[in-house]
Structure 1
Amino acid sequence: MSKNSKLVLEENSSIALVYRIQTAQAVSLAKKVSDYLKEKGYVVFTGPDQKIIPGTKAAKTKKQLDQLKLIIVLGGDGTYLRAVRLLEGRSTPILGFNMGSLGFLTAHSAESVFDVIEKTLAGKMVLRPRSMLFAKILRRGKVRDEYHALNDIVIERGSMSQLINTAIYSEKFLVSEVKADGFIVASPSGSTAYNLAAGGPLLDPESPVFVMTPVAPHSLTSRPLIFPDNKELSFKLDGKTQKAHFIVDGQKMTEITPDDEVVVTKSCYDHMMVREPNHNYFHLLREKLKFGDRS
């Protein structure tokens, strides 16, 4: 990852808004933010697949997406991940405001939206790079699908009654064969999401690693494993398992079979988060998770 750098926006820069579509409060705030940005001379777009904010255009074309200099997210971490998928690997920074529950990705409060946006436009915020995951699905040696993920990549049994039996490899060497409900490969950013709920460890977001955590494994000796992010992990279902769900950042993308091999590496892209210069990850843990609280 590169070192933190300041975010500098030129006048007339293009900014997109992605908001939590189920919440009237988020829709209302999105309209106010749009008006605020337009008054300051910025070109405002609405993210695709949501109702267009009055006075803006939907950011749909490749040219429009390429021109974006900032995305502002008004919602929870799910809304933030929707904005990440919109970028398709572009390094456009995202500034997130939490209108959900925990909000690890959307670290700024909705009450501070205009103060924080003003600081951002004035060049007083910094960019924090976060590593991403890259997964490709091979079928009989040929690439079938490719995906980038900020938080995690999950293989799980879904609605099937039987556990999935999966062989796990690191750099083509067998790690183990595990029978479980599923498997999570999480980035440092994603360690506070599904990985944490499944009993995986918390990772410092700047750690050059990822973690593989089995979900409800059949054996007590199957534990989370941390790997350097310059290694290649691969997963292959055994012949008795008919299929499994393949999920990227909480969204089911496809199903895999014993004919498929899932290969996970570090993405060639870093994701850029907009943060206060004094933002501290451990303060966020204490605030959101009551980390270390003994009361």
Structure 2
Amino acid sequence: MAKDKLVLEEGSSIALVYRLETAQAVTMAKKVADYLKDHGFAVYTAPEQKVIPGTKAAKTKKQMDEIKLVIVLGGDGTYLRGVRLLEGRSVPLLGFNMGFLGFLTAHNAESVFDILEKTLAGKMVLRPRSMLFAKILRKGKVRGEYHALNDFVIERGSMSQLINTAIYSEKFLVSEVKADGFIVASPSGSTAYNLAAGGPILHPESPVFVVTPVAPHSLTSRPLIFPDDRELSFKLDGKTQKAHFIMDGQKVTELTADDEVILTRSCYDHWMVREANHNYFHLLREKLKFGDRN
């Protein structure tokens, strides 16, 4: 995996995304904005947030196109919101954990200014992560297209009945499964909902994605790992009237038996800012207690 240095020219535009509900994140966002301005950078508050004093609101496409770095102050949900706001732009994200788990926001709150100093000095590296792409067809016509960093989920939602779904790979039938739903996770998303549902942890450099059924009505239904150059498709059977389609934790639409969901690797990669000595397995042990026998 490439480890290109992150180099920011003085005067570059940097956007801040912060966890709205956390006073600590709001206070830190103000301090970070002041720090960046003192070092000669143009600081913006990313869309969908209250504007941080002394910064500009990034409201237009032109402003977003000029952003060279996004700094996230919050938890993984805030980080995923930052990814959505980029709408596919190849802009790196630097995350600081001010939420709960903080798996994507790998840097802790106490290290904010130390990490920022290293970032501005060009000592941090960029690590690409694959993303997922979903296209929803209804009777052959595209009615929605979505990119996700972590996962797409098809689930029954509040309906009492399980959903019956046929899974295809390259147009070949893989299986017909009755379950509460299905998770299609990228390597980055393998440690999120996929892991909670019994799916495997994927190394972030793995060129694969995993399909994990949620509470399947069969002992033979197990997670499946596919090369990410394959096309997968999902189709509800006629007895299942509706299902929810969820992108990185956000419901985006409802599905019916008239819909086909086609999933592939996204044409976009996501770029994470990390220290040069970042160790993924250390992160697993620290955040998820991986291998802890106590």
TM-score, with length taken from structure 2: 0.99
Report the equivalent of 1:104: 103
Give the Cα–Cα distance (whole angstroms) in 2 for the partners of residues 121 and 57 of structure 1: 20
Matched ranges for 1:33-112 at <5 A = 33-112=32-111
Q: 1:251-281 deviations in whole A, cap 9, x for unaligned?
A: 0000010000000000000000000000011
Report the alpha carbon displacement of residue 57 of structure 1 after superposing the two structures with TM: 1.2
Give the Cα separation in 1 of the matches to 2:225 and 2:100. 28
One-letter amino acid of the structure 2 residue matched with residue 261 of structure 1:
E
CA distance in 2, matches of 1:132, 1:156: 20
Instruction: State the match for 1:147 in structure 2.
Output: 146
Residue 234 of structure 1 aligns with an amino acid whose one-letter code is: S
Residues 207-232 of structure 1: CA deviation (Å, up to 9, x unaligned) = 00000000000001000000000000
1:290 aligned residue: 289
Mapped partners of 2:289, 2:242: distance in 1: 39
Letter in 1 for 2:130: S
Q: Which residue of 2 aligns with 1:251?
A: 250
1:201 corresponds in structure 2 to: 200
**2: CA distance, partners of 1:4 / 1:136:** 31
* SS of residue matched to 1:92: coil
SS at match of 1:84: helix
1:27 maps to what in 2? Answer: 26
C-alpha distance in 1 between matches for 2:99 and 2:25? 10
Distance 2:23 2:47 in 1: 18
SS in 1 for 2:82: helix
Structure 2 Cα separation of the partners of residues 19 and 175 of structure 1: 42
Cα distance in structure 2, aligned partners of 1:149 and 1:280? 24
Query: CA–CA distance in 1 between the matches of 2:129 and 2:290?
Result: 22
Task: Flag structure 2 segments of 5+ consecutive residues without an equivalent.
Answer: none
Give structure 1 regions of 4+ aligned residues with deviation exceeding 2 angstroms: none
Give how far 1:58 is off: 1.2
The Cα of 1:4 is off from its aligned counterpart by 1.5
Residue 126 of structure 1 is matched in structure 2 by: 125
Deviation per residue, 1:155-203 (Å, 9 max, x gap): 0000000000000000000000000000000000000000000000000
**Which amino acid in structure 2 is aligned with residue 36 of structure 1?**
Y
SS of structure 2 residue aligned to 1:60: coil
Aligned-partner Cα distance in 1 for 2:114–2:174? 49
1:120-199 aligned within 5 A = 120-199=119-198
Residue identity matched to 1:154: V
In structure 2, C-alpha distance between the alignment counterparts of 1:209 and 1:61, rounded to whole Å: 35
Q: Percentage identity across aligned positions?
A: 84
* Equivalent runs, 1:248-287 vs 2, <5 Å: 248-287=247-286
Deviation per residue, 1:120-161 (Å, 9 max, x gap): 010000000000000000011111100000000000000000
What is the CA-CA distance between 1:59 and the residue it aligns to? 1.1
Task: State the AA in 2 paired with 1:246.
Answer: F
Please name the residue that 1:234 is paired with: 233
Provide the residue aligned with 1:219 in structure 2: 218
Q: In the alignment, what sits opposite 1:13?
A: 12
Q: Which amino acid in 2 is paired with 1:97?
A: F
SS in 2 for 1:65: helix
Cα deviation, 1:20-50, whole Å, max 9, x if unaligned, reads 0001110000000000000111000001111
Q: CA deviation at 1:3?
A: 1.4
Residue 102 (structure 1) shift:
1.1
**Aligned AA (1:73):** V
Structure 1 Cα separation of the partners of residues 127 and 59 of structure 2: 26
The amino acid of 1:3's aligned partner reads A
